[in-house]
Structure formats: C-alpha cells, structure tokens
Amino acid sequence: MARKITYQQAINEALDQEMARDPSVIVMGEDNAGGEGSPGEMDAWGGVLGVTKGLYHKHPGRVLDTPISESGFIGAAIGAACNGLRPVAELMFVDFMGVCFDQIFNQAAKFKYMFGGKAETPVVIRTMYGAGFRAAAQHSQCLYSLFTHIPGLKVAIPSNPYDAKGLLIQSIRDNDPVIFMEHKVLYTMEGDVPEESYSVPFGEAAVVREGDDVTIVALGRMVSFAQDAAQALQKNGIHCEIIDPRTTSPLDEDTILESVEKTGRLVVVDESNPRCSMASDIAGLVAQKAFGALKAPIEQVTAPHVPPPFSDALEDLYIPNAAKIESAVSKIREYG
Amino acid sequence: MSQIHTLTMPKWGLSMSEGKVNGWLKELGDGISVGDEVVEVESEKIAGAVEAPVAGILRRQVVSEDDIIPVGALLGVIADEEVSDADIDAKVEDFLANFVPPSEDQEEGGPAPVKIEIEGQRLRYLKRGEGGNQVLLIHGFGGDLNNWLFNHEALAAKREVFALDLPGHGESVKAVGDGSLDTLTDRVIGFMDTLGIESAHLVGHSMGGAICLNLAKRAPSRVKSLVLVASAGLGQDINGDYIGGFVESQDRRSLKPLLSELFADTNLVTRQLVEDMLKYKRLEGVTDALRTLAGKLFPEGRQAVTLRPALDAFGKPILVIWGGADQIIPASHAPTPGGRVQVGVLNGKGHMVQMEAANEVNRLIDDFLG
Amino acid sequence: MSDTLNRERLLRAYRTMRTIREFEERVHTEFATGDIPGFVHLYAGEEASATGVCMHLRGDDYIASTHRGHGHCIAKGVDPVGMMAEIWGKSTGSCKGKGGSMHIADLSKGMLGANGIVGGGGPLICGTALAAKMKNDKTVGVCFFGDGASNQGTILEAMNLATVWSLPAIFVAENNGYAETTSSSWSVACDNIADRASAFGMPGVIVDGFDFFAVHEAAGEAVRRAREGGGPTLIEVKVSRYYGHFEGDQQTYRAAGEVQKLRDEKDCLLQFRRRVTADGDITDAELGTIDAEVLALIDDSVVRAKADPKPGPDDLLTDVYVSY
C-alpha cells in the first residue's frame, strides 16, 4: 500500500466510492455546492473545509446543499433513511448538535426500539470535532461521549486515514444510525490507504502498539499523541500497549480488558472534558471488570473541566499531549 | 583480511523505515563465520536475524537491546583482530557522522511495486535486480508479494527477480474467475508474455508451487527450473481447518491463532502481520475470491489437484524446500531426492519457511540457481 | 387516486371517523379505570382532519404524526387492534409494547410514528419527501402538527427546507386552540398559522376542521400539487379537541360548556351524517350498521388487549440496533 493520502481525502474517497456503488447513498450539508443559488462557481467549497469537494458534479443531484437549518436537514436525512435512502449528512461542527440533538437522539436513535423493531434508519451524520484550530468554545468540543451514551446510535472515531475510509464505508453500509466523528486537525494527516473499497468493522479495537508494561487507551487524535509518548517511554525501557477503540458504540471491551489483564496498568487518553467522558467510562469498565489485574490506580489524561479556550496559550494547555501521557504513565509505573 | 565491515539495520519490505534490536546473538570478541546470525532485529512486521556477510571478530556492538534505529543505521562492526581499535573507532565515528536516515518519503529511486493491466485485469508486481536471468516468485493462498520480503533482495543480487500478486491477492485484481489452477496459471503466463519473459526460473510457495508445476506441465519451454516451497499439488493432505478458518475470519481475535499455524515460532506472528492480513481481507472482493479458490482447489479439507506426474515429467532441475514442522501441508509430501530433484527439509520450521528460515532458504535457492 | 367522493368513499370516510371516535371514547373510559399505563392524548373531535387528509394518500405515502396520534394512525390504515394492545403495553401491540400511545408507528403503512416531541415530525417528513422526489415515485409526505408545534423551530425549518428543495410535502397544522393549557390565540403571534405560509413561499389555506368536506377538498388540492412536483402547502385546520391535553387533564382552562356546545353543534360525525343522509344517497341505517361494526371491532380490541401477554424480560434488550 504505497499510496498515501490524507484523512480528508480518505473520507472523500469513501463517499465517492459508496455513491458509485449504491445509488441510494446521498450526501447533504451546508456549503456542499459552495452556496447553491449564488452567482459564483458551484462546488467551490464542498463543505466548510472542502471534504466533499468534487462530489457535487461527479454525482449529479445526489449532493445536496442545505440551508443553515441543522434540525431541518439532519431530521430530513433521518426521514429519508426511513424511506429507502442512505443519507450521509454533514453536521459542520459537532458543537452545532445543540440545535438538532432532538432529531438525533429522540428520533433516529429511538425509532428501532420505540417502533418495536420495525424501523431501520441507515443514516450517517458526519461531524467535525476537536480542539487545535483556535476556534474556541463553540467550535472545538469533542462530545462523542454524549452520542455514545444513547442507545440506538453507533459512534465511530477514526484516528487515521485508513480507518477514516474503512469506518465511513462501514457506517454507510450499516443499517443503524451512525455518528461519524472527524477530528479537524487530522484532516491533513497522511497515511497508507488502499485504493480499493474496504470496510473496517465496528466494535473491533485496533492494537496500535504492543507492550507489556502499561495499557494506553486513546481516541481519535489522541492516538498519535499516545504513540509519541510510547516511543519516548520505550527509550526508558517502558513498553506501552496502545489501544484505539475506533468505535465507542459498540465498544470493544474485550480487547481493553485483555490488555489490562496483561499490563495491570491503564492510562486513558481522551480529548474531551473529563466528567462523564469516554475516559471515565473506560476507567469505570476496567475498575469493574479487571479490578484484580490492576497494579496501580487508573490514570485519565483529558482536557480540564473548562470550555475549549481561544488563546493559543490557553488552548495548548487545554489539549492533552504526549508529555502529559508520558507523565501519567510514569506516575503509575512508579506506584506501589 | 584487514577490512572493517559495518553491520547495519536491514530493510525488510518497502514500509520498513526503522527496526528494533531484540538482542545480540554473538558476544563482543566472538569469532564470526560467514552466515552466522549475529544480532536479532525486528521490524513492525517480523523478527529475524542479521547474518554476517564476512568472517572476522565482532569488535563493536554499537546498539543494545530495545534500541530502535533507522534502516541502514549502524548495528556493529566485524573486523579481523589485527585491525586496531583506533581504526575501528575512526570508522564508527565516520559512519555516525555521515549517516543520513532514509527520509519519510522513502525510496528515492528504490524499487517500487508496479501495477499493470493485462486484458483489463490489474496485476501488481515488484521487480528487483537486473541481468536477464529471470526468476518469478509466486506466493501462496492468501499471501502476496511481501511473502518474499526476506528472499527477494537476496535472490536479486545476481538475477532479475519478479514477485507478483496473484489475482485475488495483494493489490492485484480481486476477481479470480472460476478459481481453477488453470485460470491462475493463465494469468501468470499472461504476465510473462506482457513483460516479454520468454522463460524463467519459477519459485512457488504453497498454492503458488502448484501454479508453477501446472505452468511447467502446460508450457515446459517457459520454465528453466522449479523451486517448490511447501508446495501444494504434491499430495492430497492440507489443513482444511486452516483454509476454512482463514477464508471466513474477519477479525484479529480469530485470525491470529490461524496465522500462528503458518509458523513454527509463533512469536513471528506480530501485531502488524495480523493487522496487514486483516487489511487485505477487508478489501472488497477478497473473501469471495478466497472462497472461490478454496472451493476449487482445497474442497473439504483435501487438495483437489495432484501434479505429481507433472513433477516427474518435468525434465529440468527441481528444488523442493519444506519446513519440517509445516502444519498446513505436511513435509511428507516432499518427493524423494535424486536425479534432477533436490530436497531440503528444514527441521523445526513451519509453512512460511521462506520467512522463518530466510537465510537458509535463500542459500538453498541461490546455490540451486547458480 | 380519485378525489371524487362517491358513495363508497363517503362510507369509507365515515367508517374511519367513526373508528377513531369509538377508539378514543373507549380509551377515555378504560383509562379512567386505571388499567392503561402512561400518558394518553386523545384525538376525539378532530377526526375530520386526519380522515379528510389521509383519504388522498396511498399506502406508500408517508405521514408524521404527533403525541395526539391515534386518529392519524387509524386514518393511515394502522390496525386498531394492534394499537389498542400497544396502548395497554402488550407484546401484541403495534410496537410490541415498547412504544406506547405516543409512539405508535407502522412504516409498512407509511405511518412514521406518533411523536412524543412537539414538532419532531417536520424535518422527518422533509426526509421522506426528499426520498420520494429522488426516487421519483410520486409519493408525498404529510406532517401533522399542532398549534404548539407551529412555534417550534423544527417546523419552521422544515417548511423553509421543503420550499428550498421543492419537496412533495404537506404541512397540516391542526390548531385545536390549546398547546397543553396555553391558548393558541396567545402563543401564536399571528392571526392564523396559515399566514406563515407566505413567509416560506408556499400556499397557505385555512379550513374548518369540523367539516370533513372542507378538509378533504383543501387536502386534495395540496396533495395533487405535491404529486405533480408543485412543492409544499400549509393547511391550517381549525378544530377542537373534546378531551384534555392528556387523560386526567381537568381542562380548567376551558370555558364551562365549551366542549358540550361543540359536540352538540359542530361535531364532525354529526355534520357528516346530516349532509350525506340529506342528499339521500346514504341512509341512516347504513351508517348505523357501520356504527355497530366499529363498536364490535373496538370491543374486540379491548378484550384482546386486556387478555394479551405483556412483553417478557428478554424483550427489554432487543430491537435497539439492527446489529451491534
């Protein structure tokens, strides 16, 4: 797999290939066509960061521009999914789910159960999350733990270009509603991605690195920080195992637990705010199900309990980094 | 001899940019013969020993266990005892001062796989070496050209060696037609035609061995000699549980124990090896291709095609190599040596003998091809 | 589908309205016994609206309903026996007892669910209508909503989106005068909900919701336009409910005698009966026969709902995902 493309290109390619494969796949979102009805060039944007660029002309009539009406078009994607389409809706920033959360968690997530199993809602909501763009409190949150909390939703959080393509293809083919979380800083990350179509299954964590001393569970952008930390720690003879859950719903509990059974030590790295986060969820899981294996307290490396700040001086402090992970690992290595 | 020889981190496969030192197999001051395993290193994909290219004494161990160094970086120094410490230190200093790790963009000018279309069907191959004496490396069921990671470069030192991805495998087209040996053989012949290879030495592993045999049977003039490594087609036995399990497995948990059956030393089944195999198996069309091939070639836990008569009828040299601990196709399928047929059974090695005992396999093939 | 109200269609309209009325009256009675769990919002009084609209719809047209959804369900063809069992929380219910009164749905009938979220259906119907438009199957989507939902952003967004995308959607605002206890004359800032249609570039019409024929005519025009690619319409149905916001609501906010006066003077079934029998084509006796058949059906549905089994412990964990 010599071909390297970016995370953003991988997402675009997944959409393109699935649209070519299945005529029921459609894409909708704000600024997909660079402002339908504006006098300038169509398809100038492909969404705010250009992720869907090129698809508008390639798949005529199947890439829809939407007004800035997140409830309206996210709900429309859900309704269309009930009527035979496989819509992929782009919710520009995950922070905006504040204005359309009802459609996601009261409608899409509930139909299957509430209607006695008779509904299927194969909708994908792609959304951009995460800090690092100096975009401040309303454009930088993670929030995947909120979706993970809700039965009926699936949540995919790709950490690299390969997973971005494979998980998105799986999301589109999946018959349940999927929230697909794209970290805005990862869009430019390059990696090996097969040109052919493939899907990465849900609920199967990736063991990114093997090691016997400490288990690091990291999500999304945090995976590469964990790799940097593990690389540095290896020089001190500390061997970290890194697990990337890839999806938080379903969550591959077995892989996490098996690893902690082996290492006896756990650091969870999550860019979210700490309360009711994936970090606390996974820590709780391990405390409950692998208590006997633990040799030290579980460490959580997360953002603090504050909104994402604007100033680079503050945002850099806010985001977890490799140094914080290293210090958490060292701390539990020295315990007891 | 009074030269100073540097031992460097090898490059095993296109994606390897650095390796980890697992441990020295020779002590400082030990006498070294050519071919001795001096230090064990590992890439993300696999571990292996670095062999001494020259005889001498291990005079320096520049790296120690767990060090991670770039490809091409200095591991140690072998020199005769008359070489002075000062000269060795100067050489080491000089090496370290001038060493530039390979850039991330890798392979400026290095060999890279090529994809070609033959009658609309994509085939990927990697060519190493020059000189016209042509060799084809043909992998087995579920494999790809990377199965020859530890052999390709060594064999290419004196020859022009092509490793290809069969249809249904690697980055070649995933359609395998009816999945018959003849169809696969046609594709290999098509490959030779397209590249203008009139005749070549054929090296086949497992199912690839059966393809080589079949090609020798159908077009003997295209085959200079045969090297059959843990080859299919020489008997009926095959590990049907492995074949069936491998075809259907889609996750790490079920795949890892299966891949472990390919090796005698299961430590060789690294995380990356499993991950790479999963990446292959997830590609659209792969599971269908493998099902078709398995159904055609290995139905109900038996090999459907026996080419023993073709082996006997082939009037040119044949080298058969087997791992004595092969759990997929038993080493007892190896023919009796004699006449044109040489046989090398490597005790304690598994089905992927060309990876597990790469140095010995390379030597056998090298000597055989001459 | 013919819009002509021939004899057969008139009898069908009457049967639908009568079934809704009987169903709701019976649920009202049974609820008072304490047998029915949860929240129940009754549609009695508004039958002409659901019936007048749904008479124009095909099986594969979609509707989205509200928390007051029984009437829409019945008018769209959902089986009243399954509905009654659902309201009782039985495993034989439309949703296996997992949805209840507020979530009765039957996608095989194009019924996208009663909805516990006020205004929740607007965006969803844009979605089914979008799919219809892209598939070019000439189906339409109808969003029923109340005067309360008319002030929700979702409905306003949906109406805008429906015009922007030129969707085959019909928005039916059933203005029954009260959002829970709050009068629509206070909560809706304009005189009529239909007045908002022009803001979204679509026709807006007002009809008397007690008059089946008026609803039927307005809906016919809207559905025809939608099917022909003419885009969405907003229909405001001015109507009233006979019971409270939910069962148990004492309706202290309503004037004394308000409901009784409506029942006596404006009731849709009464008006319908008068009009069709006066024309001479349909007799009182025929309608009486329907009344008896409907009564038997509802009786039967209650007997069965009471006797049917509740869901078992295993049912708790199923139907969350297609696969997980």
Helical H segments across B40-110, by residue range: 85-98
Cβ–Cβ below 8 Å for A206 and B275: yes
Residue (of C53, C98, C78) closest to C212 by Cα position: C53
Residues of chain A with CATH 3.40.50.970: 4-192
Mean pLDDT, chain B, whole residue set: 92
A149 is catalytic: no
State whether residue C300 is helix, strand or coil.
Answer: helix
Question: Chain A window 123-162: which residues touch B at a Cβ cutoff of 8 Å?
Answer: 162
Q: What is the CATH number of the domain that holds C225?
A: 3.40.50.970
Neighbours of chain C (3+ CB pairs under 8 A): A
Q: What is the DSSP string of B319-363?
A: EEEEETT-SSS-GGGSPPPBTTEEEEEETT--S-HHHHTHHHHHH
Question: Rounded distance, CA C109 to CA C51, Å?
Answer: 15
Residue in chain A lying closest to C108 (CA): A118
CA C243, C13, C94, A121: dihedral to nearest 10 degrees? -100
- Closest chain B residue to A241, measured at CA: B271
> Cβ A72–C157 below 8 Å, yes or no?
yes
Is the CB of residue B302 less than 8 Å away from at least one CB of chain A? no
The per-residue pLDDT for B159 is 95
Question: Are A249 and A285 in contact, with CB atoms under 8 Å apart?
Answer: no
Does residue A206 belong to the interface with chain B, where contact is any CB pair within 8 Å? Answer: yes
DSSP letter at C64 equals E
**Touch B-A: 3+ C-beta pairs under 8 A:** yes
Range(s) within chain A of domains with CATH label 3.40.50.920: 206-333
Residues of B in contact with A162 (CB under 8 A): 279
| Residue partners of B166: CB distance under 8 A and separation at least 6 | B138, B139, B172, B184, B187, B188, B208, B211
Bridge-based pairing state of the strands A266-270 and A299-302:
parallel
Residue C88's SS3 state is coil
List chain B residues with CB under 8 Å of A1. 15, 171, 279
Which segments in chain C show pLDDT lower than 50? Answer: 1-2
Q: What are the start-end ranges of the H helices in chain B?
A: 85-98, 152-155, 181-194, 207-218, 240-248, 252-260, 271-282, 286-297, 308-313, 353-356, 358-369
- Is the domain covering A4-192 a CATH 3.40.50.970 domain? yes
Is 50 exceeded by the pLDDT of residue B1?
A: no
Cross-chain residue pair C123–A79, CB shorter than 8 Å: yes
Name the architecture of domain B4-98.
Beta Barrel (2.40)
Per-residue pLDDT band for A2 (boundaries 50, 70, 90) equals low
Q: Do A234 and B112 touch (CB under 8 A)?
A: no
pLDDT, position B47: 77
| C318 interaction partners in chain A (CB closer than 8 Å) | 117
Q: What is the CA radius of gyration of chain C?
A: 19
Q: Which of A15-19, A99-103, B265-269 has the lowest mean pLDDT?
A: B265-269
For chain C, say whether A288 makes contact (Cβ under 8 Å). no
Tokens found for residue B300: 């109900």
| d(CA B341, nearest CA chain A) in Å | 38
List CB contacts (< 8 A) between B270 and chain A: 210
ipTM rounded to 2 decimals:
0.94
Is the pLDDT confidence value at B136 over 70? yes
Do the Cβ atoms of C130 and A76 come within 8 Å? yes
Residue C309 within any structural domain of the chain = no
Least confident of B69-73, B222-226, B286-290, C80-84: B69-73
pLDDT tens, B8-27? Answer: 888 877 677 888 898 899 99
- A175 close to C (CB below 8 A): yes
Kindly state the helix (H) or strand (E) to which residue A127 belongs, with its residue range: strand A124-129
Q: Which residue does chain C place closest to A204, by CA atoms?
A: C324
Share of residues in chain B with pLDDT > 90 (%)? 70
Contact A197 B171 (CB under 8 A): no
pLDDT in tens, B315-361: 999 999 999 999 999 999 999 999 999 999 999 999 999 999 998 99
Contact (CB<8Å) C96/A116: yes
Helix axes C212-227, C268-278, angle to 10 degrees: 90
What is the number of residues in chain A? Answer: 336
Fold classification of A206-333 is Rossmann fold (3.40.50)
Whole-model pTM: value is 0.91
Using an 8 Å Cβ cutoff, are A178 and A124 in contact? yes
Instruction: Report the number of secondary-structure helices (H) and strands (E) in chain C.
Output: 11, 7
- pLDDT for residue C3: 62
Nearest to B321 by CA among B243, B208, B176: B208
Nearest partner of A269 among A203, A211, A321, judged by Cα: A321
Cβ atoms C110, C76 nearer than 8 A: yes
Catalytic residue among A139, A183, A239, A305: A139
Size of the A and B interface in Cβ pairs below 8 Å: 43
Query: With an 8 Å Cβ cutoff, is A80 touching chain C?
Result: yes
Pairwise CA distance, residues B224 & B135, whole Å:
9
- Assign domain B114-369 to its CATH architecture: 3-Layer(aba) Sandwich (3.40)
Question: Band of the pLDDT at B208, cuts 50, 70, 90?
Answer: very high
Instruction: Establish if C295 belongs to a structural domain.
Output: no
**Closest Cα partner for A175 from B85, C322, B238?**
C322
Gap from A200 CA to chain B (nearest CA, Å)? 7
The beta-carbon neighbor of A200 closest among B174, B253, B282 is: B282
Q: Is residue C291 part of a domain?
A: no
Cβ distance of A196 and B14 shorter than 8 Å: no
Map tokens 């991950």 to a residue.
B275
CB distance A50 to A187 below 8 Å: no
Find the closest chain B residue to A232 by CA distance: B68
Alpha-carbon gap: C126 to the closest alpha carbon of chain A (Å): 5
Chain C residues whose CB is inside 8 A of the A87 CB are: 127
Q: Is the dihedral of CA C158, C163, C164, C168 positive or negative?
A: positive
Domain, as residue range, for C11? 7-256
Whether C285 is covered by a domain: the verdict is no
The whole-angstrom distance between B272's CA and the closest CA on chain A is 9
How far apart, in whole angstroms, are the C-alpha atoms of residue A13 and residue A10? 5
Question: Rounded mean pLDDT of chain A?
Answer: 95
Is residue C184 situated within a structural domain?
yes
Query: Hey, what are B362's tokens?
Result: 């390379």
**Are A154 and C324 a contacting pair at CB < 8 A?**
yes
Q: What is the largest CA-CA distance in chain C?
A: 61
Using the Cβ of B14 and the Cβ atoms of chain A, whether some distance falls under 8 Å is answered with: yes
Domains in chain B: boundaries: 4-98, 114-369
On whether any CB of chain B is under 8 Å from the CB of A190, the answer is no
Count the alpha carbons within 13 Å of B33 in the hemisphere toward its beta carbon: 1
User: Nearest-CA distance from C299 to chain A in Å?
Assistant: 24
Residue C90 pLDDT: 97
Q: Is A237 on the interface with B (CB under 8 A)?
A: yes
Helix pair angle (B207-218, B286-297), 10° resolution? 60
- Angle at C17 (CA atoms; ends C11, C23), nearest 5 degrees: 130
Q: What are phi and psi of B174, to 5 degrees?
A: -90, -15
Sorted by sequence, the CB contacts under 8 Å of residue B219 that are 6+ apart come out as B189
Touch C-B: 3+ C-beta pairs under 8 A: no
Contacts C132 to A, Cβ<8 Å: 83
CA distance B311 to chain A (A): 36
Do B271 and A197 count as a contact with CB atoms less than 8 A apart?
Answer: no
Segment B226-253 mean pLDDT: 96
Do A74 and C320 lie within an 8 Å CB cutoff? no
Is B110 an 8 Å CB contact of chain A?
Answer: no
* Inter-chain residue contact C117 with A113, CB threshold 8 Å: no
pLDDT (tens digit, 9 = 90+) per residue, A278-301? 999 999 999 999 999 999 999 999
Q: Between chains, do A201 and B250 touch, taking CB under 8 Å as contact?
A: yes
Six-digit token string for C171: 């928005």
**Alpha-carbon span C191 to C185, nearest angstrom:** 8
Nearest alpha carbon to residue A216 among A194, A187, A190, A245: A245
C52 near C58, Cβ under 8 Å? no
d(CA C172, CA C193): 10
Residue C286 lies in a domain: no
Q: B46 falls in which pLDDT band (50, 70, 90)?
A: confident
Q: What is the pLDDT of residue B289?
A: 97
The DSSP letter of residue B44 is: S
**Quick one: pLDDT at residue C2?**
46
Segment B75-128, tens digit of pLDDT: 999 998 888 899 899 888 988 888 888 765 554 556 889 999 999 999 999 999
